Amino acid sequence: MNEEWKNKISVDSNICHGHAYIKGTRVMISVILNNLAEGLTAEEILAEYPSLKKGDVQIAIIYAASLAREEIVS
pLDDT tens for each residue of 27-70: 999 999 999 999 999 999 999 999 999 999 999 999 999 888 88
Model pLDDT, residue 71: 63
Model pLDDT, residue 72: 64
Model pLDDT, residue 69: 87
Contact 43, 37 (CB under 8 A): no
Q: Is the pLDDT of residue 73 over 80?
A: no
| Domain segments of the chain as ranges | 3-68
Select from 2.60.40.10, 3.40.640.10, 3.30.1360.230, 1.10.10.10 the CATH code of 3-68: 1.10.10.10
Model pLDDT, residue 58: 95
